[in-house]
Amino acid sequence: MRVLLVGAGGVGTAITRIAARRRFLEHMTVADHDRSRAESAVATLGERGDRFAALRLDASDPAAVRAALAEHRCDVLLNATDPRFVMPLFEAALAEGVHYLDMAMSLSRPHPSRPYEECGVKLGDEQFERSADWEAAGRLALVGMGVEPGLSDVFARYASDELFDEIDELGIRDGADLTVEGYDFAPSFSIWTTIEECLNPPVVYEEERGWFTTAPFSEPEVFDFPEGIGPVECVNVEHEEVLLVPRWLKARRVTFKYGLGDEFIGVLRTLHKLGLDRTAPVTVRSGLGEAEVSPRDVVAACLPDPAGLGERMRGKTCAGTWVKGSKDGRPREVYLYHVVDNQWSMREYGSQAVVWQTAINPVAALELVARGTWGGSGVLGPEAMPPRPFLDLLGEYGAPWGIREQ
Amino acid sequence: MRVLLVGAGGVGTAITRIAARRRFLEHMTVADHDRSRAESAVATLGERGDRFAALRLDASDPAAVRAALAEHRCDVLLNATDPRFVMPLFEAALAEGVHYLDMAMSLSRPHPSRPYEECGVKLGDEQFERSADWEAAGRLALVGMGVEPGLSDVFARYASDELFDEIDELGIRDGADLTVEGYDFAPSFSIWTTIEECLNPPVVYEEERGWFTTAPFSEPEVFDFPEGIGPVECVNVEHEEVLLVPRWLKARRVTFKYGLGDEFIGVLRTLHKLGLDRTAPVTVRSGLGEAEVSPRDVVAACLPDPAGLGERMRGKTCAGTWVKGSKDGRPREVYLYHVVDNQWSMREYGSQAVVWQTAINPVAALELVARGTWGGSGVLGPEAMPPRPFLDLLGEYGAPWGIREQ
């Protein structure tokens, strides 16, 4: 398989390190708008880097993306950029007739008048609208194939196929106990993106009601995460799984709750209250007279860059799917999960835990596509694929998953 | 009495409105670095403004201040600027041989190695060091003569003289229930100054230990404020009373707690945790390339200007002194207080409550100095003066005080 990887940030770089150890990969072209990031990702592979090449590429330029796909004879475009570039890359792959895989779906827009009650444009809507075109082209667009969405959706399908006859609630729960040495407060991921994600209206699915939205941070609950992470306060957050799961699986209710913890939720609420989450500029004095700056950029500038914190991080991150329902006429409740210890991922791959946990899943998915175990055409979510081969492959990658009967 | 008022901001402007109604005032020169502010303060007095003149003046230029005192034949300099200008104005008044009155004292500097345990340079230290020179000149420097410090210190002296034989604790407690219509979060005073005040190490006095400091927001307690304000969460804050009271009065413990409320305390903690309280610049993108901006300035720029919020404010503000001790061998506990309703102060004076409550006290003090009821020489706090005449005069000004036996 020949792959065009677009994006050589944290996740993109971890993808190269994981893929370099797998034989299914014939060639990977690593592209980034900043050529030095792409070159650095390839250079750090050392002697494992012989199947990789670096390229400068503007993800928002469809002609340049198509030319790169053609020049490097790629079978698939793997998108590891931020969600603003989903649609141009998705369209370029279709136009060029290659498969496509991403880890976040096309962006939502809130309902114009009832943002905390009704959905406007949903996550992925723009992609699913094009499904017939992908089917007609006989190509696969596998969307939301990171860890969450991604592995969490595979867990959902596995629960639906093998563990339950009926599902009452299927709730994705994501939590961690990561700390960063030397800092009172240092998010392990981009504060800019977290603000965006957490202040959008969260989406919930119910069988009778369909999809609807709530106010940010709704339905707080304390979830007890496994492998020593322990209890973390979780709240509803807008996330792809809620939009993906009901398209393929039957469940009375689907939610996504993010274990932000009460401290982080407090920080986000305060930033919103003070208007410091805004991207629209305010005028302030600067060294060179008055300047127009975005408050959210100033917040990000005050915090350490999470990409450089891996060596100082301690702890584990957990992604998983909590399912409540019945099997053989008896109530059942399980949590299917995947935990990564930051010290392990730093030692083994030089990648911090959150980034590494995201990156392993698209590589494993591509391996199954290369084997012909996963396939099909159209715009499909991870729950459209047979789950067992994927879950078995994770063990082979040295990243086993777990199950807790509750 | 002829007065040079330096500073025509919120408090300075309210001072002109209050003084214009009093006969003791022969003439007031209203000076500000921004001439239009001084002119506007005088112009809005209308026909009551005949004893007032406006002047442009740089408070940091001692020669200019002395020239203004001489030219307008002033008896006293009334300082209504921010605390950075205390020392130059205090020195200019001494050099020119006039009395001096301020509402905030010379600034503190934290202890270099144990900031949250020991005092460094204390509030007012620089002023008290010069007391002998003021005595030698036969002139009065009455320091800390606003509402807090100021009226709160008069209450302390009154309690000590007339209500108690022994005082265990003398605690200043300041709280409000002010809200600003149309805003989720809108401080009724400068967020920049509040950050400065609240994040400095708070100072406490104990008879055996002397003055010492604690961590910010220490010793939280809920205090029940009178006249319908109700319970508000209060914490230790660095304030002048703690430095003034023990110089003249005997009390086992002296504290100042500010009724910030848990919401406001949470906001300040979060700003500190994220480094958004810093004044040192960070580099961010701006409309014109990279800019160096102070995070604290950006926080202030995101919030409405409190000076313009008087019309939208509702509620009351309370300043007072809580005294615990004994009288005639029996335990006693009282709260001496002064409450201003914003709707009343806006209607009567066009000044918001917090600003008006500060401004009335230096005017009443000057009136007592003009009458010869208050006087003396050297650097003196309000507790060095007989309290009864002052408390009686407040009633005459239409701003009565109250007492609650607990």
Indicate yes or no: pTM above 0.80: no
CB contact under 8 A, B288 and A284: no
Q: For chain B, report the end-to-end CA distance as a whole number of angstroms.
A: 41
Q: What is the mean pLDDT of residues B292-318?
A: 89
Res. B183: pLDDT tops 90: no
For residues B334 and B336, what is the distance between their CA atoms, to the nearest angstrom? 6
C-beta of residue B275 within 8 angstroms of C-beta of residue A271: no
Nearest CA in chain A to B277: A302
How many contiguous H segments (helices) and E segments (strands) does chain B have?
A: 14, 20
What is the model's pLDDT at position A188? 76
Interface residues from chain A to B (CB-CB < 8 Å)? 184-185, 266-267, 270-271, 273-276, 278, 281-288, 291-295, 297-299, 301-303
Interface test with B, best of A195, A262, A284, A299 (most B CBs within 10 A): A284
Q: What ipTM goes with this model?
A: 0.70
For residues B95 and A351, what is the distance between their CA atoms, to the nearest angstrom? 67
Q: Domain B2-146+359-401 falls in which CATH fold? A: Rossmann fold (3.40.50)
Is the bond into A149 cis (omega within 30 degrees of 0)? yes
Is the bond into B149 cis (omega within 30 degrees of 0)? yes
- A302 interaction partners in chain B (CB closer than 8 Å): 274-276, 278, 282, 295
C-beta of residue A328 within 8 angstroms of C-beta of residue A165: yes
Architecture of domain A2-145+359-401: 3-Layer(aba) Sandwich (3.40)
For residues B72 and A98, what is the distance between their CA atoms, to the nearest angstrom? 86
For residues B144 and B394, what is the distance between their CA atoms, to the nearest angstrom? 17
Q: What are the structure tokens assigned to A249, written together?
A: 């699986």
What is the model's pLDDT at position B402? 97
Res. B161: pLDDT tops 70: yes
What is the model's pLDDT at position A279? 86
A201-205, B186-190, B234-238: range with lowest mean pLDDT: B186-190
Angle separating helix axes B342-349 and B10-19, nearest 10 degrees:
60
Phi (first) and psi of residue B129, to 5 degrees: -60, -25
Query: So what CATH class is A151-354?
Result: alpha beta
Torsion angle of the four alpha carbons B124, B127, B132, B136, in this order, in degrees rounded to the nearest 10: -140
What is the model's pLDDT at position A85? 93
Instruction: Give the start-to-end residue ranges of the domains of chain B.
Output: 2-146+359-401, 151-354
Tokens 């003289």 locate to: B161
For residues A98 and A95, what is the distance between their CA atoms, to the nearest angstrom? 8
**Minimal CA–CA distance to B37: which of B66, B15, B60, B19?**
B15
Q: What are the structure tokens assigned to A213, written together?
A: 């939205």
Task: Output B211-215 pairs: Cβ under 8 A, ≥24 positions apart.
Answer: B211/B119, B211/B122, B211/B242, B211/B243, B211/B246, B212/B117, B212/B118, B212/B119, B213/B110, B213/B111, B213/B115, B213/B116, B213/B117, B213/B118, B213/B119, B213/B238, B214/B116, B214/B117, B215/B116
Q: Is A319 helix (H, G, I), strand (E, B) or coil?
A: strand
| The one-letter amino acid at B215 | A
Q: How far is A282 from chain B (nearest CA, A)?
A: 7
C-beta of residue B56 within 8 angstroms of C-beta of residue B88: no
Q: How many residues in total does chain B contain?
A: 406
CB contact under 8 A, A286 and B293: yes
Q: How far is A272 from chain B (nearest CA, A)?
A: 10
The beta-carbon neighbor of B185 closest among A274, A291, A302 is A274
Task: Mark the ranges of chain A whose per-residue pLDDT is less than 50.
Answer: none
CB contact under 8 A, A301 and B282: yes
| Strand boundaries in B187-294, DSSP class E | 203-206, 210-213, 221-225, 230-236, 253-258, 282-286, 289-293
For residues A200 and A213, what is the distance between their CA atoms, to the nearest angstrom? 10
Q: Is A263 helix (H, G, I), strand (E, B) or coil?
A: helix
**Minimal CA–CA distance to A17: which of A359, A387, A389?**
A359
Confidence of residue B286 (pLDDT cuts 50, 70, 90): confident
What is the model's pLDDT at position B307? 67
Residues in contact with B36: Cβ distance below 8 Å, sequence separation at least 6, in sequence order: none
C-beta of residue B378 within 8 angstroms of C-beta of residue B134: yes
The beta-carbon neighbor of B302 closest among A266, A275, A286 is A275
Nearest CA in chain A to B187: A274
The percent of chain A in helix, strand and coil, each rounded to the nearest 5, is 40, 30, 35
CB contact under 8 A, B286 and A285: no
Tokens 């094009």 locate to: A130
Res. B67: pLDDT tops 70: yes
CB contact under 8 A, B284 and A295: no
CB contact under 8 A, A301 and B291: no
Interface test with A, best of B183, B268, B293 (most A CBs within 10 A): B293
The beta-carbon neighbor of A270 closest among B270, B292, B297 is B270
Res. B288: pLDDT tops 80: no
Q: For chain A, report the end-to-end CA distance as a whole number of angstroms.
A: 41
